[in-house]
Amino acid sequence: MRGLDVSAYQETVDWAAVAAGGASFAYVKATEGTSYISSRFSQQYDGAAAVGLIRGAYHFARPDKASGSAQADFFVDHGGAWQPDGKTLPGVLDIEATPGLPTCYGVSPGATVHWIASFDKEYRRRTGRHPVINTNTSWWSQCTGNSSALAATNLIWIGSWTGTPHPLPNGWSTYAFWQTADSGPLPGDQDVFNGTEQDLRNLAASGTYTPPPAPPAGAWPIVQQGYSDRQVTTIQYLLNAHGAAMSVDGSFGAATHDAVVAFQTRNHLTADGIVGPNTWQALITTVKEGDHGPAVSAAQAELKAHGAAMSVDGSFGAATHDAVVAFQTRNHLTADGIVGPNTWLALVN
């Protein structure tokens, strides 16, 4: 299930277009610390609900300011309350770095864990539910000392723009929400919910649910509009191998999105413009020595990204064959020099 999160940075959101664009849920920034209330909260929160989206509110944590319990009260009092109405998601504690401020806000790992626990305790006292924790693994590992203290009670919303939710913070084996990119076809940040539409409705109705397992670390990555990385370069080459005529610039913009949608439509896939497992497996083309074209360039670009010293020239010669064999050997694959499904999967991860 696709969704988004927005704040006052998104001054005007066309919620009807968001719903038409396939979103099922939205999280809206309500507060930060104990002095900031988003000027756009009411418009965004009510606007999302008006078009049928399930929505919730989030609080941006400032452990360097007031206590966790005081910030939980401020959040609940200014839009963050949860109620079992079937359309309101549990509140979120968004805790991550702020550019320009000291690392971990100058707070020790032990004090940070205590601060989060204080917020959690007060939010649960006020609403009857634990808040969802929104963070990224790097910040969590550094700033909480890699704590697992809240994993048994709080759902995690993981921020990861690498095409995979892994690695998850210590203690969590799966996630409820995943922020996959900071831009894309929907306004604001792009998110997915780990479950079905009924799971999402159950979460809104009861304030809790059990997420299914996360995809394995070696699964096909999820790549979408807003990404800029080597996986996008590979996708663009592979789209060209299937008849697209596009620039290979490593930036997943509107043109790449449209090319993906066209490819998905031709191949009877869900035409959402997101390159997930099914689209990857339709895109990849087995290439071997003697082959030429964009699919070979895609394999060469990936090999180069993995450390091979080679040209990306679209010609599968002896040097490319040897680089494939070396890559396969390092990754415990059949070292046959042929880039087939298993080798492609290892290359794009």
Residue stretches of the chain with pLDDT short of 70: none
Give the per-residue pLDDT at 163. 84
pLDDT at 184: 85
80 close to 57: Cβ distance less than 8 angstroms: yes
Strands 177-181 and 156-159, how do they pair?
A: parallel
| Residue linked to tokens 């339709």 | 282
Per-state percent for the chain, helix, strand, coil, to nearest 5: 40, 15, 45
Q: Which of 298, 314, 308, 187 lies closest to 250 in space, CA to CA?
A: 298
Strand (E) or helix (H) holding 119: helix 109-127
Based on the residue annotation, tell me whether 229 is a catalytic residue of this protein.
no
Task: Copy the structure tokens of residue 300.
Answer: 């060469």
Q: What are phi and psi of 15, to 5 degrees?
A: -65, -30
For the question of whether the overall pTM of this predicted structure is more than 0.95, the answer is: no
Q: Which of 77, 96, 199, 322 is catalytic?
A: 96
Residue 28 identity (one-letter amino acid)? V
Exactly one of 5, 32, 122, 191 is catalytic; name it. Answer: 5
Q: Where are the beta strands (DSSP E) in 45-98?
A: 54-60, 92-94
Neighbours of 10 (CB within 10 A): 16
Helix (H, G, I), strand (E, B) or coil at 333: coil
User: Which of 32, 73, 77, 94 is an active site residue?
Assistant: 94
Beta strand pairing call for 156-159 and 36-37: unpaired
The reported pLDDT for the residue numbered 185 is: 86
Structure confidence at residue 119 (pLDDT): 98
96 is catalytic: yes
- Residue pLDDT, tens place only, 157-215: 999 988 889 999 999 999 999 999 888 889 999 999 999 999 999 999 999 999 999 88
Which pairing describes strands 92-94 and 25-32: parallel, antiparallel, or unpaired?
Answer: unpaired
Q: At what angle do helices 109-127 and 68-75 cross, to 10 degrees?
A: 40
Residue 193 corresponds to which amino acid? F
94 is catalytic: yes
Sign of the torsion angle spanned by Cα atoms 285, 290, 293, 297: positive
Residue ranges in 226-276 assigned as alpha helix (H): 230-241, 254-266
Query: φ and ψ at 109, to 5 degrees?
Result: -55, -45
The confidence score (pLDDT) of residue 162 equals 83
Confidence at residue 164, expressed as pLDDT on a 0 to 100 scale = 87
| Per-residue confidence (pLDDT) for residue 228, from 0 to 100 | 82
pLDDT for 91 equals: 98
Write the burial class of residue 225 (CB in 10 Å: 0-12 exposed, 13-18 middle, 19+ buried).
buried
Share of the chain above pLDDT 70, in %: 100
* pLDDT score for 227: 85
User: For the purposes of burial, counting CB atoms within 10 Å of the CB of 152, is it exposed (0-12), middle (13-18) or buried (19 or more)?
Assistant: exposed
